[in-house]
Structure 1
Amino acid sequence: MPVEENFTVALRSAAELAPEPNAFAFAQGAAERGVRRRRRRRAAVLTGAAAAVALLAAGSVPALRSDQGAAAQPWSTVTAEYMRDSLVSLLPGGRITNALGFTGEESSVRGGPSGVVEIETARGAGPITLSLDRISTPVTESSRGAHCFDPSERATESCSRTVQPDGSVLMVNVLLPEQAGMGKTMIATYTHPDGRQVRIDSFNRSAQGEPPITGEQATAVLQSSAWDVGFGGVRVTDPPQPGVSTPPASALHGTVTGLLPAGAVAGPADGPGRPGTVRLEVTLEGRTSWLAVTVDPHWQQGGRDDPRTVFESGRGPELTHTADGTAVVVRAERESDATDGPEVQWGAEALHPDGTRVTVSEWNGPDARTFLPGTPALDLDRLKALATAPAWRG
């Protein structure tokens, strides 16, 4: 796979995960297999920028050049050089050591043009990635990229969400480091009422350092009219399925409660309660664990590849099928890669015959980002039964 495609795939994969990372997804392929471990978690919000900058740092591409060339892809309205040069020109003072622009490739990634720079400012050194996207409307508090992280799930220093008079939404989220030796992360988005979205990801490479640019500086870049011409060929990347609605958290909580084994006690829903997700504590036989469930009706239908093929690809012997044809995977994750490390997260994910995908994740700990060893309230068989229950189907 060429360098530019590697970068674009990584960038769009990160966009799928942040700023609303699917914290409850237990195993969703390589890009989504973000099982959070205490010693070794994938910082999903950094994936795209880190992958791009790794290419730059490794010398995979010369500095200050476009890997896509001057000619834009047929579905794009700007060149890679335009994205690169516009981003460079809009950034505040600092020393830029590398810069790249991309138009995107519809054949491999659904999304818009993007650019990435490696910059050194008075605040510190690190990457700044800007990408264009288009989300479905109307834009609400649950729309992708238009809301803050759940602080109980991702350590957050601050987040501001402002609705402009014209209905556009500005979000600036500063996240605390979760990996040793890395500084803070800033994710900022500007979402227009018609679904056009400009996003910036930036982090400081130094431990405990601030992002290279401030929230005010990022806002100025996001709101620049320079990006308007880049949306001409960008399609909606999260189109709603006709006749399909994502269940609210309250409905999911009720379904989970009804499916729990006898004697289990369900706590109230925790977190922001966005559609399609619910998190709660479950107590059974004296053990209390966190349980998180996501439900995605008609998962990936309308995409280029068959959803069942995507779901089952690469699963190996861990993939099984129930009598009614539901594909299911169960797994226990350890604290580290060491085979003798303690298990700290358990889960099951299922793709039902009607295309509904259900992901169940369980862990022990005081919150949604701390994972401790110990026997969970529900064993893997019960998690499997929960994920494969026909009650989830539309």
Structure 2
Amino acid sequence: MPSENSPQSYPDEGPETPGGGPETAPFEDELGEVLHRTGGSFTPADRTALVDAGLRRGRRRLARRRIAVVTGGALVLGAVGLGGVYGDGLSGGTPADGSTASGTASAEAPALITGAGAAPDGGLTGALARLLPEGELSGAVESLNGRATVRGVFDDGDGGAEVSVGLFRVDPTGAEDRVTCPARTYTPYDFCGTSELTDGSRLMILQGYVYPDRREDTRDWRAVLLTPDGYLVDANAYNAPAEKGAEVSRPEPPLDRARLKELVTSDEWRGTLRRLPVPRPDKETGGARVEVEVATTFASLLPAGLKVYDQGRQDNEFAYAVVDDGQGRSLVQINVQPGMSDTVAELFGGATTLPDGTQVKVTKQPGEKGGAGVVQWTVDTLRPDGLRVVVSAFNSATQGSAATRPEPALTVEQLTALATSEKWVG
């Protein structure tokens, strides 16, 4: 098997397009949690989580965190698997022909032989068994509830490892970020590459980790295929019997890049994909469009004298930069969201009101992504027309790494000036 950092060639897909860093291209922490990789549940009383949720809403398609994707923070995608956004429907065992639209959880399937000796079963579990290498698949559960999913523990003799496949129908014109490599600023990984197949499908393969801060060495190797007609196949393989809460059972997941590609491009999934419901329009895209180019405007508003080491964007609503004023690197990120008037009661209690009616809320709090000594300063603003601009700065280069300086590189006054700039009104 190739090493984690070496590119893998695929004979039928054309040149590989690497993502962020030397082998990658931007994206965040999601389909974030695409997201569940970088966040968790929240309640209206939890302002921090609500801010994160608002950011995910602004970053919409991948990070909803966020991908991870996910999209941590921006595919905040960090990268994203069947948990979180995709995996909220592990309820409903159904045949692979997708003949029902929903169901209740299927009974745990008996162990199956995988590979060439797999039984000709018609369900999703049987399809997964046939597409895996030789070994055994146990504890498989499949569901169909607007999307189809199957997961189980695969053992090729070197240790049990969870493998999962999710099947979705999406708007192909708005799902490109689900097959775009996340930015390493938010989602640490060993390898990510994207490519276009001969039929016009887009493929992303990512070798990363369940926990961005590496508090456990559970690895998540993932492949996502997006076809021109809006079929999305998302496969994950781990080096533990469960994505979370299980001890690592082997050094690496059992499926390398070539095997992951074979899994998501197989025709075995087509029958189910064709029967999934056509996606409804994304309600979160309603309201006025952001007319300014966020990344460019953000860069123009950064204080003078900062050296920019890294920068990126997601859609036209989220951007970030890693800057240094000579005292250490500092992550700064911004989200610009139209149509957010309904967040006043939830997010802007106790806010200051400017003469033009703009609400301004300032918070200083510890970082939440595992970095030692990290603090986060946020200025959250809401204009009378519903345009929300949220700017956060950290005293570290990433949210998951240790603090590089006592305070963020931008002061609260500078963050406020950036968020309330007239340049955001177009």
C-alpha distance in structure 2 between counterparts of 1:78 and 1:336, whole Å: 36
CA contact (8 A) 1:124 1:211 kept: no
Among 252, 255, 261, which residue is 2:294 paired with? 252
Amino acid at match of 2:150: G
Q: Of 254, 260, 284, which residue of structure 2 is paired with 1:212?
A: 254
CA distance in structure 1 between the aligned counterparts of 2:185 and 2:218, rounded to whole angstroms: 19
Instruction: Decide which of 344, 360, 378 is 2:391's aligned counterpart.
Output: 360
- Distance in 2 between residues matched to 1:87 and 1:21, nearest whole Å: 24
Is residue 2:31 matched to residue 1:15?
A: yes
Query: What residue number does 1:235 align with?
Result: 279
Letter in 2 for 1:113: A
Counterpart of 1:121? 156
Task: Tell me if structure 2 keeps the 8 A contact 1:266–1:281.
Answer: no
Aligned to 1:102: 143
Structure 1 match to 2:53: 28
Q: CA deviation at 1:190?
A: 0.7
Preserved CA contact (<8 Å) 1:269 1:279: no
**Correspondence for 1:191:** 226
Aligned residue number for residue 415 of structure 2: 383
Contact 1:280 1:292 in 2 (8 A): yes
Structure 1 position 96, deviation (Å): 2.7
Pair 267,215 (structure 1): closer, same or farther in 2 beyond 3 Å: same
Change (3 A) 1:207 1:186: same
Q: Counterpart of 2:310?
A: 270
- C-alpha separation between the residues in 1 aligned to 2:424 and 2:265? 41
Across the aligned residues of Structure 1 and Structure 2, the Cα RMSD in angstroms comes to 4.8
Tell me the amino acid that sits aligned with residue 378 of structure 2. Answer: G
CA contact (8 A) 1:88 1:117 kept: no
Choose the corresponding residue for 1:161, options 194, 198, 203.
194
User: In the alignment, is the contact (CA less than 8 A) between 1:354 and 1:393 conserved in 2?
Assistant: no
The partner residue of 1:295 within 332, 336, 357 is: 336
Decide whether the 8 Å contact of 1:173 with 1:188 is kept in 2: yes
Residue 188 of structure 1, CA deviation: 0.9
SS at match of 2:298: helix
Change (3 A) 1:246 1:69: same
- Paired letter, 1:114: T
Q: Distance in 2 between matches of 1:357 and 1:126?
A: 43
Alignment CA distance shift 1:210-1:296 (3 Å): farther
Q: CA deviation at 1:47?
A: 7.0
> Given that residues 247 and 295 in structure 1 are in contact (C-alpha distance below 8 angstroms), is that contact kept between their aligned partners in structure 2?
no
Residue 379 of structure 2 is aligned to residue 348 of structure 1: yes
* Distance in 2, Cα, partners of 1:313 & 1:99: 44
Match of 2:26 in 1: none
1:76 equivalenced with 2:120 (yes/no): no
Does the residue aligned with 1:92 lie in a helix, a strand or coil?
coil
Q: TM-score, normalised by structure 2?
A: 0.62
Q: Secondary structure at the match of 2:262?
A: helix
Alpha-carbon distance in structure 2 between the residues aligned to 1:223 and 1:357: 40
Matched residue SS, 1:15: coil
Give the deviation of 1:191 after TM superposition.
0.7
Cα offsets for 1:174-195 (capped at 9, x unmatched): 0156333333211210110122
Q: TM-score, normalised by structure 1?
A: 0.66
CA deviation after TM superposition for structure 1 residue 94, in Å: 3.2
Shift of 1:119: 2.7
Q: 1:19 to 1:160 in 2, by over 3 A?
A: farther
Aligned pairs (5 A) from 1:172-187: 172-176=205-209, 178-187=213-222
**Does structure 2 retain, via aligned residues, the 8 Å contact 1:327–1:350?**
yes
8 Å Cα contact 1:320-1:327 kept in structure 2 = yes
* Higher mean C-alpha displacement, 192-201 vs 88-97: 88-97
How far off is 1:235 after superposition?
Answer: 0.5
Kept in 2, the 8 Å contact 1:49–1:128? The answer is no
Deviation at 1:335, TM superposition (A): 5.0
CA distance in 1, matches of 2:238, 2:350: 36
Structure-2 change in CA distance of 1:203 and 1:313 (3 Å): farther
Structure 2 Cα separation of the partners of residues 43 and 326 of structure 1: 29
Any conservation in 1 of the 2:169–2:232 contact (CA below 8 Å)? yes
SS at match of 1:28: helix
SS in 2 for 1:145: helix
* Identity score, percent: 22
Q: Quick one: distance in 1 between partners of 2:228 and 2:151? A: 26
* Number of aligned positions between the proteins: 343
CA shift for structure 1 position 168:
0.6
Partner of 2:176, secondary structure, is coil
Shift of the alpha carbon at 1:212?
A: 3.0
Residues 342 and 236 from structure 1, CA distance in 2 versus in 1: closer, same or farther, beyond 3 angstroms? same
Distance 1:73 1:382 in 2: 54
3-state SS in 1 of match to 2:376: strand
Q: 1:258 to 1:152 in 2, by over 3 A?
A: closer
- The answer for unaligned runs of 5 or more in structure 2 is 1-28, 40-48, 57-63, 107-122, 241-247
Offset at residue 269 of structure 1 (A) = 7.8
Tell me the distance in 1 between the aligned counterparts of 2:402 and 2:142. 39
Secondary structure (helix, strand or coil) at the match of 1:193 reads coil
CA distance in 1, matches of 2:178, 2:384: 30
Deviations 1:220-263 (A, max 9, x none): 22112232233330415758948966678xx33442355456xx
Q: Report the counterpart of residue 61 of structure 2 in structure 1.
A: none
Residue-by-residue CA offset, 1:29-62 (whole Å, 9 max, x unaligned): 697499979xxxx995467449999x9xxxxxxx
Q: Residue 266 of structure 1: CA displacement? A: 4.6
Amino acid at match of 1:198: V
